[in-house]
Amino acid sequence: MTNTLSFGRAFRLTLLSLGALIFLAPYIFMISTAGKGQSEIFTSSLSLIPTQFFYLENFAKAFGRVSMGQLLWNGVIVCGLIFVIQVIIAIPCAYAMAKLKFGAARLLMALVMLGLLVPIHATSLPLYVAFDSAALLNSYTALVAPFSISVFAIFLFLQFFRAMPDDLIHAARLDGMSELGIVMRVIVPNAWPAITAFAIFSVVAHWNDLYWPLIVVSNQAYATPPLGLLFFRAAEAGDDYGALMAATLIITLPLVAAFLLAQKRFVEGITMTGLKG
Amino acid sequence: MADMTAISLPVEKSRPIVNVSERHEARVAWMLAAPAMILIVLFILAPVVAVITLGFTDFELGYSTFKFVGFENYAELMGDRTFRQSLWNTAVYTAIVAPASILLGLGVALLIESETVGRSFFRTAYFLPVASLLVAMATVWQYLLHPTIGPVNSLLNLIGLPGPNWLGSAGTVLYSLSMIGVWQTVGFNMILFLAGLTAIPRDLYSAAEIDGAKSPIDRFFLVTLPMLGPTTVFVTTISIINAVKVFETVKTLTEGGPNKASEVLLFTIYQEGFVYLRVGYASAMTVVFLAVLVVMMFAQYRLVDRKVHY
């Protein structure tokens, strides 16, 4: 590719830049509006730099109405627990399916394929009834338990483990390692790319999920970030968009920051999980 | 341990075990897979069976008794105006969002791939919506599309155009939601297409050029498009399925309104099941939703089998 600016290339760059501007516009306006006072929001919506900075006031309001720290903390706890449990459950299972001979492997594969078809939306009604009768609504258990099993994780790790050389495992067996020992000391250290990719997939999915938390949580103390934002919107009378934008900014920031810091991993993760899912 | 051996019994019957070490291997495999298996049964298999069963009952939360009503729920569904509207809206939303986000995703990927300057910046810009909290960004869109104080309409007024009430009028709400949907998913498709593009061997292009495909457009149809076949099938399936599952933006911005103009499948199920607590009826709806997903997946398998073998 030459560096001279041909017509075609100028056109291409203009198109890309224009598109990028449209895609980034919501972020630009979010940051801008989070710093505007009520009156300015109503009069001049197109000026990007606030004439008077209301950032402090708006952020104070955002933190005041709903406990933002609690929301983010809930998000971290729930996503962290889900991810850790999913991996602990899925890796041994995927290892058994990939490297060990046993009769139920095919049945298990069928279950995994079936599971890939079924989203939480399809199972939420009976699960809700069950959690309700067990008096488990409004708890971390209710938020985490249905996602303790990720058939997608099993599927992803299975693909990854199949590609691992058998010699590695045979050598470990000759050294007298138990199968569980092999999983923990041979498989896991070699599976970091797959684990990272799955971590990104899992955390993005559950950090953003609104459906299930909305169903099982009505108490603000257990609200995850998306649900908390809904509570905040409900508590917010009228059109206080300054405070609302401040709140959205706080809630969007953690994941966006993580993405910007670990962009390469994100893209790799999405490609790996995306193409194999 | 006791129930573990109980589960492993049928295996020993169905498969002749040759020696001790193989038998040991099977037992260890069982132990490693058992937790996952139990959880699959508990949180996927049993609930699916339950939802299909509940679909044939008049179960309502808060009432202790219920009875089987056969296909009554499904008969009611057929005459339910809200449900039909909801199916139609979901179809329209999918028919807009899936093709638009696939084509734009492909377009952006091709542009970025052939450009040397600012690659990672553009990739980040288009991908950012995927990494952002949708409920939060929907709120931002609500402000952007606000009929009187929103920047979009201010911009339209500036050039002398009347701004519609994007999310507030029945005529435009579904299109506005679709636009947000496209904005949110283009980046995801772009990343997958970019991966597909990098996997195409360079010499295929030179070979095509020697064979007479002189213009880049010829080479696109001769090499790029066929080589992207598997990626495209996958992106198409996942885009359709994700569009059918639209919920967050509807719940956050419109609650199905105005006048049911943005009522979509998952939102209707949510309303019936978790707000009105008509679990039996909502289960029947869920079965329809599941059926749609199953049909999509089978369509993908068949397409993969038939069309994209090179």
Q: What domains can you pick out in chain B, each with its CATH number? A: 2-54 (no CATH), 72-307 (1.10.3720.10)
Contacts of A189 (CB under 8 A, 6+ apart): none
**What pLDDT does B4 receive?**
40
CA distances from B5 to B30, B34, B295 (A): 9, 11, 38
Can you give the pLDDT at residue A237? Answer: 54
- pLDDT-wise least confident of A41-45, B37-41, B265-269: A41-45
Q: Which residues pair with B57 in a beta bridge?
A: B68
Average pLDDT, integer, range B131-154:
88
Closest Cβ opposite residue A126 in set B32, B50, B245: B50
Q: Which residues contact B167 (CB under 8 A, 6 or more apart)?
A: B142, B145, B173, B176, B177, B253, B254
Q: So what's the pLDDT on residue B18? A: 58
Q: Which of B22, B44, B248 to mutate to test the interface with A (most CBs of A within 10 A)?
A: B44
Query: Any idea which of A73-82, A120-129, B206-215 has the lowest mean pLDDT?
Result: B206-215
Residue B68, strand partner residues: B57
Contact between A89 and B44 using a beta-carbon 8 Å cutoff: no
Query: Inter-chain contact A241–B247, Cβ cutoff 8 Å?
Result: no
What pLDDT score was predicted for residue A56? 79
Query: Hey, which residues 148-207 in chain B have their CB within 8 Å of chain A?
Result: 149-151, 154-155, 158, 183, 186-188, 191-192, 195
Please, are residues A46 and B158 in contact by the beta-carbon 8 Å criterion? Answer: yes
Average pLDDT over residues A35-47: 74
Would you tell me which residues 228-267 of chain A have a C-beta closer than 8 angstroms to some C-beta of chain B? 229-230, 233, 239, 241, 244-245, 247-248, 251-252, 255-256, 258-260, 263, 266-267
What part of A 20-59 touches B (C-beta under 8 Å)?
20, 23-27, 29-30, 33, 41-42, 45-46
Cα distance from A65 to chain B (closest Cα, Å)? 16
Which pLDDT score is estimated for B8? 42
Residue written as token pair 């990719």: A197
Mean pLDDT on B278-292:
93
B148: pLDDT strictly greater than 90 = no
Q: Which of A96-110, B92-106, B129-143: highest mean pLDDT?
A: B92-106
Residue B6: pLDDT over 60: no
Please count the residue pairs, one from chain A and one from chain B, whose beta carbons lie less than 8 angstroms apart.
283
Mean pLDDT (whole number) for A59-65: 79
Banded model confidence at residue A238, pLDDT cuts 50, 70, 90: low
pLDDT at B54: 92
pLDDT band at B300 (very low <50, low <70, confident <90, very high): confident
Q: Is B267 exposed, middle or buried (0-12, 13-18, 19+ CB in 10 A)?
A: buried
A204 touches chain B (CB under 8 A): yes
Q: Is the minimum CB–CB distance between A98 and chain B shorter than 8 Å? A: no
When pLDDT is cut at 50, 70 and 90, the band that residue B10 belongs to is: very low
Mapped onto helix, strand or coil, the DSSP state of residue A164 is: coil
- Inform me whether the C-beta atom of residue A214 falls under 8 Å from chain B C-beta atoms: yes
By C-alpha distance, the chain A residue nearest B33 is A93
Residue B309 has pLDDT above 70, yes or no: no
Q: Phi then psi for B161, rounded to 5 degrees?
A: -100, 145
> Is the CB of residue A183 less than 8 Å from the CB of residue A161?
no
Question: Which pLDDT value is given to residue B13?
Answer: 45
- Residue A1 per-residue DSSP state: -
Most confident of B4-8, B21-25, B174-178, B300-304: B174-178
B174 pLDDT band, cuts 50/70/90, is: very high
A126–B contact, CB cutoff 8 A? yes
CB A62 within 8 A of CB A211: no
Contacts of A153 (CB under 8 A, 6+ apart): A86, A87, A89, A90, A94, A198, A202
Look at residue B153 and tell me whether its pLDDT is greater than 50: yes
Give the other-Cβ count within 10 Å of A223's Cβ: 25
Q: Looking at the predicted structure, is the pLDDT value of residue B310 above 70?
A: no
**Any idea what DSSP says for residue A66?**
S
Mean pLDDT value across residues B259-285: 92
Assign residue A18 a region: left if phi > 0, alpha if psi is -120 to 50, beta otherwise? alpha
Report the C-alpha gap between B143 and B166 in whole angstroms.
Answer: 11
Q: How confident is the model at residue A236 (pLDDT cuts 50, 70, 90)?
A: low
pLDDT band of A1, cuts 50, 70, 90:
very low
Residues of B whose CB is below 8 A from A132:
61
d(CA A156, CA A194): 7
Prediction ipTM score? 0.87
Sign of CA dihedral A140, A142, A145, A147: negative
Residue of A nearest to B249 (CA): A210
Cβ neighbours around B110 below 10 Å, total: 19
Q: Quote the CA–CA distance of B108 and B118 in Å, as a whole number.
A: 13
Angle at the Cα of B138 from the Cα atoms of B137 and B141, rounded to 5 degrees: 90
How do residues B42-88 score in pLDDT, each as one tens digit? Answer: 999 999 999 999 999 988 887 778 888 888 889 988 889 999 999 99
Indicate the pLDDT class of residue A276, thresholds 50, 70 and 90. Answer: very low
pLDDT greater at residue A252 or residue B305? A252
Q: pLDDT grade, residue A42 (50/70/90)? A: confident
Element housing A144 (H / E) = helix A140-144
- Test A244 with B130 for CB contact under 8 angstroms: no
Task: Give me the mean pLDDT over the B281-292 stretch.
Answer: 94
Q: Higher model confidence: residue B5 or residue A167?
A: A167
Where are the CATH 1.10.3720.10 domain residues in chain A? 67-224+254-276
Q: Are B65 and B236 in contact (CB under 8 A)?
A: no
Counting beta carbons within 10 angstroms of the beta carbon of residue B141, is it exposed (0 to 12), middle (13 to 18) or buried (19 or more)? Answer: buried
The span from the CA of A33 to the CA of A42, in Å, is 11
- Residue-level pLDDT at A21: 93
* Tally of CB atoms within 10 A around A127: 22
Which segment of A142-156, A228-242, B79-93 scores lowest on mean pLDDT? A228-242
A215 touches chain B (CB under 8 A): yes
Beta-carbon separation of B294 and A229 below 8 A? no
CA-based nearest residue in chain A for residue B117? A13
Judged against a pLDDT cut of 70, whether residue A249 lies above it is answered with yes
Chain B's closest residue to A87, CA to CA, is B36
**DSSP string computed for chain B:** -HHHHHHHHHHHHHS---SHHHHHHHHHHHHHHHHHHHHHIIIIIHHHHHHHHHTTB---TT-S---B-TTHHHHHHHH-HHHHHHHHHHHHHHHHHHHHHHHHHHHHHHHHHT--TTHHHHHHHHHHHHHS-HHHHHHHHHHHT-TTT-HHHHHHHHTTPPPP-TTTSTTTHHHHHHHHHHHHHHHHHHHHHHHHHHTS-HHHHHHHHHTT--SHHHHIIIIIHHHTHHHHHHHHHHHHHHHHT--HHIIIIITT-STTTT--HHHHHHIIIIIS--HHHHHHHHHHHHHHHHHHHHHHHHHHHHH---
Rounded to an integer, the average pLDDT of A71-100 is: 93
Asked if A104 has any chain B CB less than 8 Å from its own CB, the reply is yes
Task: Kindly report the CATH class assigned to A67-224+254-276.
Answer: mainly alpha
pLDDT value, residue A204 = 87
> Tokens 């980034």 appear where?
A24
More confident residue, A82 or A10: A82
Residue A58 C-alpha, separation from nearest chain B C-alpha, in angstroms: 15
The DSSP secondary-structure symbol of A220 reads G
Most B CBs within 10 Å: which of A23, A38, A39, A91, as the mutation test of the B interface?
A23
Nearest to A96 among B29, B116, B118 (CB): B29
Compute CA B121 distance to the chain's CA centroid, rounded to the nearest angstrom: 27
Q: Do A100 and B140 touch (CB under 8 A)?
A: no
The CA-atom distances, in angstroms, between B47 and each of A137, A140, B17, B53, B298 are 17, 20, 35, 10, 22
Using pLDDT thresholds of 50, 70 and 90, give the confidence band for residue B263: very high
Question: What pLDDT, in 10s, does the model give residues A163-206?
Answer: 888 888 888 888 888 888 888 888 898 888 889 888 888 988 89
**Averaged pLDDT, A223-244:** 82
